[in-house]
Chains A and B, each alone.
Chain A
């Protein structure tokens, strides 16, 4: 055995390089962003502490706040569509892949179905815009050009790209279900359908919580597909604006809008809290559930 002092020294030496990069380029910028949101940094007199002034502007300025709430609501819809479509689709595919009727082709299907998730948003956006282009004649209606359908259309494009992720989570969970349980059910006369819902499904249920929270985090970090399709002021009339594109506009500026780093920091902090609160609530609930089971 190594002495505790040596253990601490070794631990630090081994962990330090990874920890330093992670702290300096991931944790520190986020923390600095939160601090910056309470300052005015572009004045002549250097950084001035302004309390909640940046937040006040974000939530009370007529256009700034209206656009923010619009982006937040759009983002919620973007998340909801992902969850509602991706999860059942992932479950169906995972169930088919593990149905025991595929033999050697299982690996081929698994790989092919995941291919959209390996593409960049640039190709995803372009190909779908091409396919639903009225010129090609598959759809006669400007889905992306109409305010009421644009966001749903983009969300579904993103769903097409990422359905492989819930599929893989559920697939791995289904593979981990002990074979003896399934065989015992079969001996008792249960068919494939009953075995799936009565034995396998309850065992993989915790995966749904994980998928929901990861989808939440990823969609609230969304930017790339909307930007690739519609730029940084995503139309028509901001109907596809989400928090990522809103954040980008505040600190980077766009036509008719000056770059504002302080307001941008306040926006970043609000988005961070939106993600953090839900994530924390999720883990708190999970912890409680686990405790009540262990009693």
Chain B
């Protein structure tokens, strides 16, 4: 599939000044219904996290008023929960995984496109197959490996597994970007005596949108994963946000303001990041999987 351009062309922008036909109204109305369905539940969590317990159950869909407004839940999350540690862990794991994935997969994809020997396409195919690989099914040997290497219950264990999990789609995606780099540029660099690594550096700026797409695509599944933190890094000082919130929910079953505050804190950073990088994410998703 050719790469769709997600920027909205000027010709379509002009439609803003076109009259409101019945068709246009129906399209907008349907989309608004679905948008409310999509973000309504998220808004319910955020709104109720700022209310007192009686108000949460008395009028779950009301906005907080001067009387029902309360940030007690947030206070209790920070005093009784483990949120600062959880955030630090999730950030460390996600950022390190993204950096490792971007660096390793960019190098690999450059070589797969650049050196046209038969073995190269074989390697490329090996990475494509990896997209389909249900990596969780290897959990038992992973536990034994991590125990043997004294990596059990460390963030390093998570980073290694997540990097391995992200590499196949990242390489496949970067291959499609490197294919668009003109050969002339690389040949010119080589004529000037540039080493292979230098050539790589010279073409790197041309695939920058790909780097952003890989980073955006790696971020979500890593931040939101529950399986591997539960198994490979469960202790209190190594818990990620997702696992921390999960355990907090189990522990403070009836403290609704605190629960809703914890859920809000767990979700908001990622929703904001996604909103900022949604174009990169969406083009990465459709390009990476449409092989």
A, B co-complexed: yes
- Given that A22-B130, A22-B168, A279-B132 are contacting pairs, would A122 and B242 also be in contact in the complex, using a CB cutoff of 8 Å? yes
Contact (Cβ within 8 A) A10 B196: yes
**Shortest beta-carbon distance, A168 to chain B, in Å?**
5
Knowing A15-B107, A101-B27, A268-B137, the reply to whether A112 touches B4 (Cβ < 8 A) is no
Q: Given A101-B23, A109-B31, A228-B226, A127–B282 Cβ distance below 8 Å?
A: no
> With A15-B107, A26-B135, A110-B282 in contact, do A120 and B267 touch (Cβ < 8 Å)?
yes
What residues of chain B have their CB less than 8 Å away from a CB belonging to chain A?
1-6, 8, 12-16, 18, 21, 23-24, 27-28, 30-31, 34-35, 37-39, 41-42, 44-45, 57, 60, 100, 104-105, 107-108, 110-112, 114-117, 119-120, 123, 126-127, 130, 132-142, 145, 160-161, 163-165, 167-168, 171, 190, 196, 200, 220, 223-227, 230-231, 241-242, 245-246, 249, 259, 263, 266-267, 270-271, 274-275, 278-279, 281-283, 285-287, 289-290
Contact between chains at B224 and A14 (CB < 8 Å) = no
Contact of A127 (CB < 8 Å), options: B110, B134, B141, B263: B263
Contacts of A7 in B (CB 8 A): 115-117
Query: Do A265 and B224 touch across chains, with their CB atoms under 8 A apart?
Result: no
Number of A-B contacts (CB under 8 A): 292
Known: A7-B116, A127-B263, A165-B285. Is A265-B164 also a contact (CB below 8 A)?
Answer: no
Asked if residues B134 and A115 are in contact (CB atoms below 8 Å), the reply is no
**Is the beta-carbon distance between A26 and B278 smaller than 8 angstroms?**
no
Tell me which of A28, A102, A169 contacts B289 (CB under 8 A): A169
Chain A residues with CB under 8 A of B282: 110, 114, 168, 171-172
Q: Considering the chains assembled together, what is the distance between the CA atoms of A172 and B5 in angstroms?
A: 9
Q: Within the complex, which residue of A17, A102, A173 is in contact with B1, where a contact is CB–CB below 8 Å?
A: A173
- Closest A residue to B57 by CB, please name it: A135
In the complex the two chains form, is B120's CB within 8 Å of A26's CB?
no
- The reply to whether B57 and A18 contact each other, CB–CB distance below 8 Å, is no
Could you say which of B107, B245, B289 contacts A14, with CB atoms under 8 Å apart? B107
Q: Contact: A11 with B139, CB < 8 Å? A: no
Question: Can you list 22 residue pairs at the A/B interface with Cβ under 8 Å?
Answer: A7-B115, A8-B115, A11-B123, A21-B164, A24-B164, A25-B163, A30-B137, A96-B27, A104-B16, A107-B278, A109-B35, A110-B282, A113-B34, A120-B224, A122-B263, A131-B41, A176-B3, A227-B226, A244-B136, A247-B137, A251-B139, A272-B137
With A93-B34, A217-B134, A228-B226 as contacts: A115 and B108 at CB distance below 8 Å: no
Residues of chain A with a CB closer than 8 A to B120's CB = 11
- A29 adjacent to B141 (CB under 8 Å): yes
Nearest neighbor of B243 in chain A, beta-carbon distance: A122
A99 within 8 Å of B by Cβ? yes
**At the interface, is chain B mostly helix, strand, loop or mixed?**
helix
Kindly state whether residue A46 has any CB partner on chain B within 8 Å.
Answer: no
Residues A268 and B139 in contact, CB atoms below 8 Å apart: yes
C-alpha spacing A119/B265, complex, angstroms: 11
Interface assignment of A281: CB less than 8 Å from any CB of chain B: no
Question: Does A122 contact B27, Cβ atoms closer than 8 Å?
Answer: no
Q: How far is the CA of A264 from the CA of B143 in the complex (A)?
A: 12
Task: State in angstroms the CA–CA spacing of A152 and B291 once bound together.
Answer: 32
Find out whether the CB atom of B140 lies under 8 angstroms from the CB atom of A265. Answer: yes
Main secondary structure of the interface of A (DSSP, over half): helix
Contact with B along A82-99 (1 / 0, CB 8 A): 000000000011001101
Q: Which residues in chain A, 226-277, are within 8 Å of chain B measured between CB atoms?
A: 227-228, 244, 247, 251-252, 261, 264-265, 268-269, 271-272, 275
Q: Which residues of B contact A272 (CB under 8 A)?
A: 134, 137
Interface residues of A in 102-144 (CB under 8 A from B): 102-107, 109-123, 126-128, 130-131, 135-136
Q: Is the CB of B111 within 8 A of A127?
A: no
A19, A21, A93, A192: the one within 8 Å of B23 (CB): A192
When distances are taken between beta carbons in the complex, the residues of chain B under 8 Å from A66 are: none
- Which residues of A line the B interface, CB within 8 A? 2, 4, 7-8, 10-11, 13-15, 17-19, 21-22, 24-33, 36, 92-93, 96-97, 99-107, 109-123, 126-128, 130-131, 135-136, 160, 164-165, 168-169, 171-173, 175-176, 192, 207, 210, 214, 217, 220-221, 223-224, 227-228, 244, 247, 251-252, 261, 264-265, 268-269, 271-272, 275, 279
Closest chain B residue, CB of each to CB of A259: B140
Determine whether the beta carbon of B271 is less than 8 Å from that of A118. Answer: yes
Chain A residues within an 8 Å CB radius of B42: 115-116, 119, 123, 127
Expressed in whole angstroms, the Cα–Cα distance for A173 and B130 within the complex equals: 23
Would A111 and B278 be within 8 Å (CB), given that A26-B164, A127-B41 are in contact? Answer: yes
- CB pair A104–B8 under 8 Å, yes or no, is yes
How far is it, in angstroms, between the C-alpha of A24 and the C-alpha of B165 when the chains are bound? 11
* B134 A220 Cβ-Cβ under 8 A: yes
15 A-B pairs besides A93-B31, A169-B285 with CB distance below 8 A are A11-B111, A29-B135, A101-B28, A102-B28, A117-B220, A120-B267, A122-B245, A136-B57, A172-B290, A173-B286, A224-B225, A265-B140, A268-B138, A268-B140, A275-B134
With A110-B282, A119-B267 known as contacts, the answer to whether A27 contacts B133 (CB < 8 A) is: yes
- Report chain A residues within 8 Å CB of B160: 21, 25
Chain A nearest CB from B123 CB (Å) reads 6
